[in-house]
Structure 1
Amino acid sequence: MKKIIFLSLTLSFFISCDKKTEPFSNIEIKNNLNVDREFETVEVDISTYQLDEKSSFVILDENTNEEIISQVIDNNLDGKNDIIIFQPKIKANSSKKYLLTSKETTKDSVPVYCYSRFVPERTDDYAWENNRVAFRTYGPVAQKMVEDSIPGGTLSSGIDAWLKRVDYPIINKWYKKNTLDIGAYHKDSGEGLDNFHVGSSRGVGGIAAKVDTSFYFSKNFTSYKTITTGPVRTSFILTYVNWDANGKEISETKYISLDYGQNLTRYEIELDGTDTISVGLTLHKQDGKTSTNNNWISYWEPFDDSELGQGMVTTDAYFIDSEKYVTSKVDQSNYFANLRVIDGKVIYYAGFGWKKSNQFTTQKEWENYLKDFSKKINNPLKVL
């Protein structure tokens, strides 16, 4: 039986019929594509609504009065919730109506599939996951260990992929195993493993600045802020010391989120000092297949006793082109998507699909996922 980790989260359940409240808002979600849609998160502004301390916001299906799994988020960490998010199921070329209302708060435990945290027990990683994938990246202590020639450090702003093949959270479990047996999460005991090498590469979705024919990038993150964890989304902020790209000083702040049901992490990066940025997928042994189409790139490769697909997707406005950069320098060969920086930021999605997880079994299936994802983010659900 699968073991699910539960974290405490305040939820609201149905009010009895004699305690009906008027909705704050009627919400209509419209799907303009000729495909059914689910596992796409919509956001509703709740910043102007007031609740007493005994009540919580909820989303109801207008037709059935069924409560939809939702999550309230304080995006700017000022102590006041800004949005409520949920994932509607909408048929092709149709719309569906929901109610934003409130109910008496009761405390209950729900599975927090979308989870992230700082990990001081493994130097100073920051790790995040949902029900399909997991990732991590590295902090300043790990960087200093390398610079001081202390074993066990990591100098990289690349993104590591943790190849999980279960739908329950594994971050805390794997790190605990690793404290008892160093390297334990490099072995697959049935849940997956960390056998994805990052080094100084871009991993799966790290960024670089191209100047002439060379690529430059930041070192480890220097600070973090966790914004939210929950049933629908985890999000956090990573900051970096300004870095040099052949005489150009670049500032970088990453706003990162991962939603339930998705294989791709969302990156919204604030940048100054460059008009373009390159998002990389590490080429590892350079024995895989690269592909691209309009606004996504993919790398499908043999991977130990399985196969692995990496991908990056963005909207039409950001995408310029792609290029395969191969060099004899260790870990520096990457497949890049070159993106425009618009109004000081760039937004893209990056992640992976592991054949052994049974989510994607062929290169074609993986690329179809990226194509479908691209179509959806370029034609988002409309909140009316």
Structure 2
Amino acid sequence: MINYNLMFRCLLVFFSFSILANAQNKSAKISVKNNLNFSRTEIVSVSGKPLLDLVKGNKQQDLRIKKAGTSEFVVLQWIDYNQDGIGDELLFQAEVLAKAKANYDVVFDGTITLPESKSTTYSRFVPERTDDYAWENDKVAFRTYGPDAQKRVEEKRPDGTLTSGIDLWLKRTDKSIINKWYAENVKKPGYYHIDHGEGYDPYQVGPSRGTGGSGIWENNELAVSKNFVSYKTIATGPLRTIFELTYAPWSSYEVKETKRISLDLGSNFSKFEITIDAKKQIPNYATGISLHENKGEVKINKKEGWFRHGETIDGVFLGEGIVLNPKLVTDAFSNVSKIKDRSDLLVITKPKENKLIYYAGFAWQKSGQIANATDWDTLLQKQSKMLANPLKITIKGNK
């Protein structure tokens, strides 16, 4: 005798499982469009409602992205800004030809092993060298200085540094060097000032702006903050490192400044997102590049929004630059001083709603990334075009 009740229950279970499986295996397509006339490899992000719609009904940790028409899955990174265990932003690296689109397939399958990046971004607080904060990717490295380094100078103790300028570490390897160089420096002080085959730190910051430090220009003088007073690491990699630095009130305007700094894999430029809270309206906000001994070459391109300095250090070319929305720039000039480390190329801006975004970075000839100053100018031009023409992302869902 056929047990119709049992058969019905089995069919119901099978039907329910099929619905669940289909929901869990929901897929989508992501299209990334490049409107510029050169190929681009950049980190793109999905956040807000598009991300919620993409993940709805699935587990974040099961999400995978692969190049359309291939079996090649790409490296992913989730950014959790509020540290609640849920990703607020999804990152992946897109490769898009000139005037073209690149298509990617999204699937939800936790059994697929996520690929690992051969190179990475990274940042951390460095208590073993007083209290630096250092960050890097596969192309460049930077650092700046905290309250203990400031206090050492004020108390006339050794190993102090008093500046809110941004230091450059010149890399010629795509591997991470921060931990190695600091560890070796503990054993042999001055280690990272000598090139052992991976690069070194010959860049003098002092009270200058380094590359990307800030200030307020008024009465032919630049008012600047002292060292950062606190930090927060948000993400360390592999595709993007993000952290925040806060500064004690400075200048007659009692500016309370927060810098959210990020660095993407493959980029020569750190992104600075500045938030300003002042006791009274500030007249401007300046960022700059050290001119060191005033022997280098300055180029100012207000129309395209890029500003650069080129110099030779130990016989090798180094190009430093700042890129931002040209509509925010009110002036740019070389402020030359006879005082050591007081000369800077300054870019004067008018922030909107006390917020400003700019990019600051460099390229070193010995890294192989550029051959000369012309290459550096070309890289700056491309960065300004990419800023004005971000990659356009379109998401289409499928069931």
Is this a same-fold pair by TM over 0.5?
A: yes
For residues 96 and 54 of structure 1, the distance between their equivalents in structure 2, rounded to whole angstroms, comes to 23
Shift of 1:110: 4.9
- 1:171-320 to structure 2, matched below 5 A, reads 171-244=178-251, 247-273=252-278, 274=282, 276-293=284-301, 294=303, 295-320=305-330
Q: Is the 8 A contact 1:308 1:352 kept in 2?
A: yes
Shift of 1:304: 1.4
Give the aligned partner of residue 93 of structure 1: 99
TM norm structure 2: 0.86
Identity %: 43
For residues 27 and 258 of structure 2, the distance between their equivalents in structure 1, rounded to whole angstroms, comes to 35
- 1:12-91 to structure 2, matched below 5 A, reads 22-23=25-26, 25-38=28-41, 40-45=42-47, 46-47=51-52, 49=55, 55-91=61-97
For residues 390 and 155 of structure 2, the distance between their equivalents in structure 1, rounded to whole angstroms, comes to 47
Query: What secondary structure sits across from 2:149 in the alignment?
Result: helix
Cα 1:239–1:56 shift into 2, 3 Å: farther
For residues 56 and 337 of structure 1, the distance between their equivalents in structure 2, rounded to whole angstroms, comes to 45
Give the aligned partner of residue 129 of structure 2: 122
CA deviation vs aligned residue, 1:313-369 (integer Å, no higher than 9, x gap): 012332233110011222110001112211221001001111111211111110110
For residues 116 and 379 of structure 2, the distance between their equivalents in structure 1, rounded to whole angstroms, comes to 32
CA deviation vs aligned residue, 1:66-123 (integer Å, no higher than 9, x gap): 2122211112333321111112111222222223333316588654520000000000
Query: What secondary structure sits across from 2:254 in the alignment?
Result: strand
Q: Is the 8 A contact 1:155 1:220 kept in 2?
A: yes
Q: Please tell me the residue identity of whatever aligns with 1:266.
A: K
Q: Is the 8 A contact 2:292 2:340 kept in 1?
A: no
Q: Please tell me the residue identity of whatever aligns with 2:234.
A: I
Give the aligned partner of residue 8 of structure 2: none
Superposition RMSD in Å = 2.0
For residues 76 and 66 of structure 1, the distance between their equivalents in structure 2, rounded to whole angstroms, comes to 31
Shift of 1:154: 0.5
- Per mean C-alpha deviation after superposition, the further-off stretch among 133-142 and 300-309 is 300-309
For residues 319 and 77 of structure 1, the distance between their equivalents in structure 2, rounded to whole angstroms, comes to 35
For residues 115 and 387 of structure 2, the distance between their equivalents in structure 1, rounded to whole angstroms, comes to 33
Shift of 1:25: 3.8
Query: What secondary structure sits across from 2:162 in the alignment?
Result: coil
Query: What secondary structure sits across from 1:222 in the alignment?
Result: strand
TM norm structure 1: 0.89
Q: Please tell me the residue identity of whatever aligns with 1:326.
A: V
Q: Please tell me the residue identity of whatever aligns with 1:261.
A: G
Give the aligned partner of residue 383 of structure 1: 393
1:369 to 2:379 alignment: yes
Shift of 1:196: 0.4
Q: Please tell me the residue identity of whatever aligns with 2:327.
A: A
Q: Is the 8 A contact 1:275 1:341 kept in 2?
A: no
Cα 1:207–1:30 shift into 2, 3 Å: same
Q: Is the 8 A contact 1:47 1:81 kept in 2?
A: no
Give the aligned partner of residue 12 of structure 1: none
Q: Is the 8 A contact 1:25 1:99 kept in 2?
A: yes
- In structure 1, runs of 5+ residues without a counterpart are 1-18
Counterpart among 140, 156, 159 of residue 163 in structure 2: 156
For residues 375 and 53 of structure 1, the distance between their equivalents in structure 2, rounded to whole angstroms, comes to 37
- Per mean C-alpha deviation after superposition, the further-off stretch among 191-200 and 69-78 is 69-78
Q: Is the 8 A contact 2:215 2:286 kept in 1?
A: yes
CA deviation vs aligned residue, 1:98-150 (integer Å, no higher than 9, x gap): 23333316588654520000000000000000000100000011111111111
Give the aligned partner of residue 140 of structure 1: 147
Q: Where do 4+ consecutive residues of structure 1 move more than 4 Å? A: 50-54, 105-112
Q: Is the 8 A contact 1:47 1:83 kept in 2?
A: no
CA deviation vs aligned residue, 1:135-181 (integer Å, no higher than 9, x gap): 00000111111111111111110000001111100000000000000
Cα 1:141–1:66 shift into 2, 3 Å: same
Aligned length: 363
Cα 1:329–1:51 shift into 2, 3 Å: farther
Cα 1:109–1:99 shift into 2, 3 Å: closer
Give the aligned partner of residue 16 of structure 1: none
For residues 218 and 103 of structure 1, the distance between their equivalents in structure 2, rounded to whole angstroms, comes to 49
Query: What secondary structure sits across from 1:269 in the alignment?
Result: strand
- In structure 2, runs of 5+ residues without a counterpart are 1-20, 395-399
- 1:346-361 to structure 2, matched below 5 A, reads 346-361=356-371
Cα 1:259–1:107 shift into 2, 3 Å: closer
Q: Is the 8 A contact 1:316 1:378 kept in 2?
A: no
Q: Is the 8 A contact 1:224 1:237 kept in 2?
A: yes
CA deviation vs aligned residue, 1:276-297 (integer Å, no higher than 9, x gap): 2111100011101000212010
| Structure with more helix by fraction | 2
